Structure 1
Amino acid sequence: MENAARGSKTLGHYLIPAAGLLCLAPFISSATALVLGIVIAVVIGNPYIAKTRKLTSSLLSLSVMGLGAGMDLGVVGRVGLAGIGYTVVGISCTLVLGFLIGKFLKTERDTSVLISVGTAICGGSAIAAVAPTIRAKHHEISVALGVVFLLNALALVIFPPIGHFLDLTQHQFGLWSALAIHDTSSVVGSTLQYGPESLEIGTTVKLARALWIVPVTFLFGYLFARGQKNQTGEKAKRPWFILGFLIAAALVTWIPDLRPAGHVVNEIAKRALVVTLFLIGANLTKETLRTVGVKPLIQGISLWATVASCTLAAIVIGWIH
């Protein structure tokens, strides 16, 4: 038994850095990285858990900042203003509904918040932005991301057939995908199967929606800072990294010469986020997994199904166009 434990520890020392480097490869998806980290942590163990937990927080913030370098504030702003009404209503209703479902199911507070934010805005990126602000625990982040990625994978399979069955136009399908699928990557994958106009609409609307990470993150930062200060006398971590997100987006938008560099930074940030997700998975332990249960999954599915159905109905009726 002692030799086996020593062997597992040695294997973990090799596997964690090797798998982390592997996640830099373009063929490793976010979901794959997260699952890889979880499998290694649960089956073999993470001997670097103190270091990976510290690295995760920094890498999350830097990745979110780098994502801003791939956004054009002009185009996204125009699309965002055109749909600001249903965007505000949609995000607000999703957050409230997610809160109510979480309360009913008695899901852990921070896990419930992260699932709701990921569903309301843009999946993993929103979770990455809000998590350090509310000081979410590592296993809570992992659970929320796991739920979101599972539903992203499901959306890639079921959305195009539903769109064809209902005879949605490319414009309608692109809009529905942007509003109802969590992550931008899955929106791109789904709309790419449906047609070029669908891809253009879906990607642009999703990027505009992603800008709502900023006010929502500051809102949660304010609410949780006030709550934690009242309870512990300490201030919660402020989401200053989101300013880096805005600055990066503004620079590549207003200084065209920086766009090639911005594209490179954006691609690096995407891969860094994949590595971060691997680290988040690797921070899980068997003990924390035992405490998770099925409640977060039920909350995520219920919230997503409701949002997707209501959004689709509003688009078909013509309330959203």
Structure 2
Amino acid sequence: MYWIRENFPGLLRVFAIAVISTWLGTMLPIIGGAVFGILIGILISNVFGKPENTLPGIKFASKKILQWAIILLGAGLSLSQVWKTGIESLYVMLFTLSAAFAGAYGLGKLMGIPFRLTSLIGVGTAICGGSAIAAVSPIIEADEMEIAYSISTIFLFNVMAVLIFPPLGHLIGLSDQAFGLWAGTAINDTSSVVAAGYAFSNIAGDYATIVKLTRTTMIIPISLVFAFITAAAKKKEAKNNQDVSFRIMSIFPWFILWFLAASLMNTLGLFPASWLSSFKFLSKFMIVMALSAIGLSADFRKMLKTGVKPMFLGFLVWFIVSAVSLVVQFSTGQI
């Protein structure tokens, strides 16, 4: 009962913003509910502020609801379909993932951008935008400003991709499958991949969507890699400072294992088909709730102080990934 009293005011505020943001996202799918959630949250927090009694619920939404949303995202994935498409697109995907992380960390170091912000921009570009950022941010202990800034950066280039990719694909002369593979490996957010794919053709849209879902499963190994990196840093800190204790289980991303378990259950047909659309809607809505909470927690003045460098990094990494996807397809005769 105490838990409900403590968290209810904040959760109610986050829920209300998420409902409005989801509605706006259906009106303007090129932007999406998640981005509206962050923007409305930042606006309310920095213009009107937030009552003290809403803070526990806002914090709960930004952490726990975010993790539950990732688990539900897994329930909508079929590992058998992912496996089939993954084999076809694995070569291109490995190159684009490697290019994204190499570009992010190489350029990020040159530009003097902090590790956590660089990591979020890299993982958002490499895998699946907001969902990947949502999965990795608690593992590397990113703060709300870093999460909000990285998602805003990813959003900007999602919009550009939806507008630029289809006409550019026709200009280059890409086939339906080649364009689907390009969109599925080089555009970040799922809704943007779908929008760009179907703007090119129905076949390209179908293939791009499956490639993108396959790419989403890379959340699992990448999250585990970040968990081990964080664990190594914490272990080193504990060794150098006797007052600091460290247990790897305290930072292990258990929700990623539940993501995998939910995907496996769906693959085995343990969920009725009628449930899958509900899982998909709930996972998206919960991500909007979590990102609305992150927006409410973000300090816009800190974001402004960070400057435009992270935004420029996001552009460079996105450009590298887009180019590498085309080059690899061309070199392997897929174009």
Note whether the superposition's TM-score is higher than 0.5. yes
Displacement after TM superposition at 1:88 (Å): 2.3
Question: 1:228 and 1:83 mapped to 2: Cα distance?
Answer: 36
Residue identity matched to 2:257: L
Tell whether the 8 Å contact from 1:53 to 1:138 is kept in structure 2 after alignment.
no
Name the SS for the 1:57 alignment partner.
helix
8 Å CA contact retained: 1:24, 1:272: no
Partner of 2:146: 140
1:29 corresponds to 2:41? no
1:280/1:179 CA distance change after superposition, 3 Å: same
Structure 2 contact 42–300 (Cα < 8 Å) conserved: no
Instruction: Tell whether the 8 Å contact from 1:121 to 1:182 is kept in structure 2 after alignment.
Output: yes
Q: Secondary structure at the match of 2:128?
A: coil
* Partner AA of 2:149 in structure 1: V
1:234 maps to 2:246? yes
Alignment of 1:278-317 (within 5 A): 278-317=292-331
- 83-92 or 112-121: bigger deviation: 83-92
Residue 170 of structure 2 is aligned to residue 172 of structure 1:
no
Paired AA for residue 238 in structure 1: F
Q: How does 1:92-171 map to 2 (within 5 A)?
A: 92-171=98-177
Checking the alignment, whether the CA contact within 8 Å between 1:31 and 1:146 is kept in structure 2 is yes
Name the CA distance, whole Å, in 1 between partners of 2:97 and 2:256.
19
Q: How does 1:36-115 map to 2 (within 5 A)?
A: 36-47=40-51, 48-115=54-121
- The CA distance in 2 between the partners of 1:147 and 1:111, in whole Å, is 11
Match of 1:274 among 285, 288, 292: 288
Scaled by the length of structure 2, the TM-score of the pair is 0.86
Pairwise CA distance, 1:52:
1.1
Matching of residue 205 in structure 1 with residue 217 in structure 2: no
Say whether residues 1:222 and 2:231 are aligned partners: no
Q: Taking structure 1 as reference, are residues 169 and 243 closer, same or farther at Cα in structure 2, changes over 3 Å only?
A: same
Deviation at 1:290, TM superposition (A): 3.6
Gap change, CA 1:261 and 1:40, over 3 Å in 2: same
- Cα distance per residue 1:184-214 (max 9 Å; x no partner): 1110010111111101110111111111110
Deviation track 1:55-94 (CA, whole Å, cap 9, x = no partner) reads 2110110000000111111111111123323322321232
Q: Residues of 1 paired with 2:220 and 2:110: CA distance?
A: 28
Q: Distance in 2 between matches of 1:13 and 1:231?
A: 35
Deviation of 1:320 (Å): 5.1
Give 1:19's aligned residue: 17
Is the CA contact (8 Å cut-off) linking 2:33 and 2:288 kept in structure 1?
Answer: yes
Give the deviation of 1:50 after TM superposition: 4.8
C-alpha contact (below 8 Å) 2:14/2:61 kept by paired residues: no
Distance 1:121 1:68, change over 3 A: same
Unaligned segments of structure 1, at least 5 residues? 1-11
Among all aligned residue pairs of Structure 1 and Structure 2, give the percentage whose two residues are the same amino acid. Answer: 31
**2:253 aligned with 1:255:** no
Unaligned stretches of 5+ in structure 2? 1-9, 27-31, 239-244
Indicate conservation of the 8 Å contact 2:197/2:208, yes or no.
yes
- CA distance in 2 between counterparts of 1:258 and 1:201 reads 24
TM-score between both structures, scaled by the size of structure 1: 0.90
Distance 2:287 2:45 in 1: 19
Contact 1:251 1:258 in 2 (8 A): no
Distance apart, 1:319 and its partner CA? 5.0
Deviation at 1:122, TM superposition (A): 1.1
1:291 alignment partner, SS class = helix
Output the CA distance in 2 between the equivalents of 1:149 and 1:64: 19
